[in-house]
Structures are given as C-alpha cells and as structure tokens.
C-alpha cells in the first residue's frame, strides 16, 4: 500500500477547508494533538510496579492430565 501523492493530499486538505472552515479544522487538529499527548503521557506513566501487579493478578497454574 502506498501513500497518496502530494497533489491528492493537497486536494483533500482544500476539500476539508471548504467543507469545515478554517476554525473547525484548526480546533480538530488541536484535539488530535491533545489526544496524542495524553496517549504518550499514559505510556510514560507505566512503571515496573504496575507491570508486576498485572502479572501477579492471575498466577500460572500447572495443568496436566491426571492419570
């Protein structure tokens, strides 16, 4: 799968501006930026402590057929 050509991207950008207006597109891009920042902060917030808690919540059991 390939990326759209620069001309196709320009046509899409112009169509978005025409349909939604400059203010709406600007606010949408601001919300996308905030979402990406929150996602990165959430990834950085994980500590080794929380990773071990998730592993210990369901300890592994040895399951073998009984003879």
In a domain? residue 65 = no
Specify the pLDDT at position 51: 53
Distance separating alpha carbons of residues 47 and 49, to the nearest angstrom: 5
In a domain? residue 22 = yes
- First CA to last CA across the chain, in angstroms? 54
In a domain? residue 53 = no
In a domain? residue 62 = no
Domains: count for the chain: 1
Specify the pLDDT at position 58: 61
Domain that holds residue 31: 1-44
Per-residue pLDDT of the chain (67 residues; tens, 9 = 90+): 788 899 999 999 899 889 988 888 889 889 999 999 999 988 887 666 655 555 556 666 767 777 6
pTM of the model: 0.47
């Amino acid at each position: 799968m390939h990326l759209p050509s620069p001309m196709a991207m320009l046509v899409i950008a112009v169509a978005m501006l025409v349909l939604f207006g400059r203010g709406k597109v600007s606010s949408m891009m601001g919300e996308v930026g905030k979402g990406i920042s929150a996602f990165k902060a959430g990834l950085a917030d994980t500590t080794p402590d929380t990773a071990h808690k998730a592993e210990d919540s369901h300890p592994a059991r040895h399951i073998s057929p009984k003879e």
